Structure 1
């Protein structure tokens, strides 16, 4: 069996890319840095990109051990990343930077996935349709106060009370228990055609701009991953009222697609 992956990665204009992805033998992951709030140190001296890179490395190491459950791999990766910090970092600060993430693993009999935070995993079962696994808890916080600054965002003092909390939302970074609150699932391997993982810089096509996930998959099928990034940027530039959304006008955008069977996408793909 061939496992095909395609990845496109492009920083948001005028910013540092805090997305990361990794691909191995039958697995893939996408991470999206969960950064600091303006004027808030967040307890840690490291840049968000450093934290995302450490999480990526530790997750990749764990995914190379196919017998380990995904939640255990994520917990261990968080613990290892925490150990990488020095004494100058206060990881008890609830605003410590971290990441959201999506992971998929093709096993002998099952396809497993794990999603935590606002990344997404789209499971394509061909004629049986596709299923989106999107952790939207950060968008369903009751009466969350929004600050109208350079971008619309939640009040940091409020986020400190709900991040990595049972009635709030969860991210990777400094709380190992977050792994136990991830969205997880599996399907028989033979029922899955392909799996798309992406950061929210890509999923905003469906969340903001009324695309269906089938349209996203079809565009990737015909034109490859870079076309999805271009579609996002075109939609953002054509948005008549971008201030109606919480978050940035442009965000880092990363997409990875693993396909069971013969590769059918563009030259930006390769088989493993």
Structure 2
């Protein structure tokens, strides 16, 4: 069994992703950043939030294999909220939040949980294509609101303002029925996560990708999911992130690939079981 990961912040910004692992568990979080000019209601910031929640999740996953991943996430959200509910406005719609991917390997099963738009790939014995698990509710909710932002050149003041408006609009749909769900302050969000398991002896490898890393496939279409897994197996997560950065640099104004951020934090984990 071998696990490797790499993470790289977008240029000029603190890294708002988190990646961590124990011998039998892995966690990846992608923090939801606060655009310039927007308020968050929290004095700690997104990097603090993902570090606190990621650490809590790893500890919870390792303590008791009989505790479901949903319960671990709910407990983690509750614990982190208690760390700053006396100093910060947790009712603010911009309170720090994150996507979540959790993976745990027991003697009999590989268990997974995915909340929001980070990606989990499972390379399963006897299948040509990997199993792809991604919660697409945020993308579906956001699609009607992207047009103004995507029509503008990335990096311009107009695009920055449109991106801020887009993010603030999506806050109205966050963690509510008919919208999308992320890990923030409400432990009930854990009940909305995608969960499942597969027999342990059928999973050859797994990849956990923040959307800054998965964009090589799902936004730039420069590789298939199978090719991304092959790249991770042969050359490792650093090479995948390098290819993402090369693509981003080649399209700084977003003309080829319209997107909210020209560069994004990118994190990739690759766990080879056999």
The change in CA–CA distance for 1:100 and 1:151 in structure 2 (over 3 A counts) is farther
The structure 1 residue matched to 2:41, chosen from 40, 43, 50, is: 43
Separation in 1, partners of 2:259, 2:242:
21
The structure 1 residue matched to 2:228, chosen from 199, 216, 240, is: 216
The structure in which a higher percent of residues are helix is: 2
Name the residue aligned to 1:150: 160
Separation in 2, partners of 1:238, 1:246:
14
The structure in which a higher percent of residues are strand is: 1
Separation in 2, partners of 1:258, 1:89:
37
- Describe the superposition over 1:217-256 as per-residue Cα deviations: whole angstroms up to 9, x where unpaired: 1111221111111111111122375155232111111111
CA contact (8 A) 1:79 1:174 kept: yes
Q: What does 1:183-262 align with in structure 2 at a 5 Å threshold?
A: 183-210=194-221, 211-239=223-251, 242=254, 244-261=257-274
Name the residue aligned to 1:132: 132
The change in CA–CA distance for 1:13 and 1:240 in structure 2 (over 3 A counts) is closer
Name the residue aligned to 2:58: 60
- Describe the superposition over 1:1-47 as per-residue Cα deviations: whole angstroms up to 9, x where unpaired: xx210101111111111111110121101111112233232221111
The change in CA–CA distance for 1:157 and 1:232 in structure 2 (over 3 A counts) is closer
Describe the SS at the equivalent of 1:193: strand
CA contact (8 A) 1:19 1:32 kept: yes
Name the residue aligned to 1:20: 18
CA shift, 1:162, in A, is 0.3
Taking structure 2 as the reference length, the TM-score comes to: 0.89
CA shift, 1:132, in A, is 0.9
- Number of residue-to-residue matches in the alignment: 259
The change in CA–CA distance for 1:250 and 1:152 in structure 2 (over 3 A counts) is farther
Structure 1, gaps ≥5 residues long: 262-272
CA contact (8 A) 1:152 1:245 kept: no
Structure 2, gaps ≥5 residues long: 150-157
The structure 2 residue matched to 1:32, chosen from 26, 30, 33, is: 30
**Greater CA drift, 99-108 or 149-158:** 149-158
Separation in 1, partners of 2:76, 2:161:
31
Separation in 1, partners of 2:70, 2:252:
41
- Describe the superposition over 1:84-108 as per-residue Cα deviations: whole angstroms up to 9, x where unpaired: 0042311111221111111111111
**Which fold has the larger relative contact order, with Cα–Cα distance below 8 Å and residues 6 or more apart in sequence?**
1
CA contact (8 A) 1:102 1:121 kept: yes
Name the residue aligned to 1:90: 89
Name the residue aligned to 2:188: 177
Separation in 2, partners of 1:32, 1:13:
16
Separation in 1, partners of 2:187, 2:19:
21
